[in-house]
């Protein structure tokens, strides 16, 4: 009985350490998109051949793999080291080496200006901050696909179920208070 309780406590502690401690206050905890949703994200993104795409908080890599299969050079940023290992194994198993890459770390600390396509399945409390980061760092015309959560200051240009595609506006076309 004592061994059973100890094993349970160890399992809960490991879960809390990897799956709650790492993302807490930085973004969503792990809750993967379904396989179908990952495919819809890649589809609605209208991936261009070999364009650079990044999934912010890439979990087990399923969205990264879907983007790579659609033709992108796909990168994932993931803060949970266990998920980094799992997603790298998934990339190898799918034969997507050289087209899909996982980076261990906090995506808030990464500059995203090399990417023309961003995907994310994050959480409500980060969406305003994430919008500000993406507006600052992405070139006008870049696309963003968000699963479930909407950005407060952008209107989706395409929607499929609870998956939204946005585009970074051209600053010259943004309304200003002095016009």
Ligand X SMILES: C[S@@+](CC[C@H](N)C(=O)[O-])C[C@H]1O[C@@H](n2cnc3c(N)ncnc32)[C@H](O)[C@@H]1O
Binder of ligand X out of 40, 45, 47, 59 (CB under 6 A): 59
Q: For residue 171, what are the CA distances in angstroms to 79, 124, 138, 179?
A: 32, 25, 12, 13
CB atoms within 10 A of CB 137: 16
Shortest gap between Cβ of 169 and ligand X (angstroms)? 25
Strand 158-160 versus strand 163-167 pairing type: antiparallel
The DSSP letter of residue 148 is: S
How many residues line the site for ligand X (CB under 6 A)? Answer: 25
Stretch that binds ligand X, among 9-17, 19-27, 135-143, 165-173 (CB under 6 A): 19-27
Binder of ligand X out of 28, 40, 138, 168 (CB under 6 A): 28
- Contact criterion met (CB below 8 Å) for 146 and 121: yes
Measured from the CB atom, the residue of 111 and 178 that comes closer to ligand X is 111
Q: Report the C-alpha gap between 119 and 32 in whole angstroms.
A: 13
Measured from the CB atom, the residue of 36 and 179 that comes closer to ligand X is 36
Shortest gap between Cβ of 55 and ligand X (angstroms)? 5
- Contact criterion met (CB below 8 Å) for 67 and 119: yes
What's the Rg (C-alpha) of the chain?
18
Task: Give yes or no for residue 32 binding ligand X (CB under 6 A).
Answer: yes
Shortest gap between Cβ of 56 and ligand X (angstroms)? 7
* Site residues (CB under 6 A) for ligand X, limited to 78-107: 78-80, 83, 106-107
Interface residues with ligand X (CB under 6 A) are 22-23, 26-28, 30-33, 55, 57-59, 62-63, 77-80, 83, 106-108, 121, 147
């Amino acid at each position: 009985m004592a061994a059973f309780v100890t094993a349970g406590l160890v399992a809960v502690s490991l879960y809390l350490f990897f799956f709650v401690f790492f993302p807490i206050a930085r973004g969503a905890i792990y809750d993967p998109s379904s396989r179908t949703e990952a495919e819809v994200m890649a589809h609605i993104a209208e991936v261009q051949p070999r364009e650079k795409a990044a999934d912010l908080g890439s979990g087990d890599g399923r969205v990264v793999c879907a983007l790579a299969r659609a033709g992108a050079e796909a990168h994932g940023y993931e803060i949970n080291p266990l998920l980094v290992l799992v997603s790298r194994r998934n990339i190898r198993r799918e034969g997507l080496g050289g087209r899909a890459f996982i980076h261990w770390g906090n995506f808030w600390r990464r500059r995203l200006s090399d990417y023309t396509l961003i995907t994310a399945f994050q959480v409500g409390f980060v969406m305003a901050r994430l919008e500000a980061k993406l507006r600052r760092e992405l070139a006008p015309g870049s696309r963003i696909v968000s699963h479930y959560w909407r950005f407060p200051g952008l209107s989706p240009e395409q929607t499929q179920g609870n998956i939204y595609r946005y585009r970074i506006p051209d600053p010259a076309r943004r309304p200003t208070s002095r016009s």
